[in-house]
């Protein structure tokens, strides 16, 4: 294995998975579920049908995650 590939491989193998948190929102009497995580300054929400990311600013991560999940619901991706 070439040196740079070896370094990248080792860093990927040493990386710990990011903690993921469940998130829900309710619209029209239905509860929609997803998962969110934060990598650096980027928060990502994922559902079984799609995902959405946004930079974390002054908003609390859970509130931003709920907003993104609602956007996914409106787009038919949750």
Give the per-residue pLDDT at 16. Answer: 79
| Residue 74 in this model has a pLDDT that exceeds 50 | yes
If one compares 19 and 4, the residue with the highest pLDDT of the two is: 19
Write the DSSP string, 37-75: EEETTEEEEE-SS-EEEEE--SS-HHHHHHHHHHHHHHT
Residue 33: its H or E element: strand 30-39
| Residue 13 in this model has a pLDDT that exceeds 50 | yes
As a whole-number percent, the residues of the chain with pLDDT over 70 amount to 81
For residue 18, the 8-state DSSP code is P
In a domain, 46, yes or no: yes
Backbone φ and ψ of 61, nearest 5°: -55, -40
**What total of structural domains would you count in the chain?**
1
In a domain, 13, yes or no: no
Q: CA angle at residue 67 from 76 to 38, to 5 degrees?
A: 105
- Domain extent, residue 27, equals 18-74
| Residue 3 in this model has a pLDDT that exceeds 70 | no
In a domain, 11, yes or no: no
In a domain, 30, yes or no: yes
């Amino acid at each position: 294995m070439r040196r740079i590939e070896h370094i990248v491989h080792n860093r990927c193998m040493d990386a710990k998975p990011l903690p993921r948190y469940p998130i829900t929102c309710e619209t029209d009497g239905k509860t929609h579920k997803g998962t969110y995580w934060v990598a650096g300054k980027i928060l990502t929400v994922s559902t079984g049908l799609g995902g959405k990311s946004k930079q974390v600013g002054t908003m609390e991560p859970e509130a931003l995650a709920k907003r993104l999940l609602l956007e996914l619901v409106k787009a038919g991706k949750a």
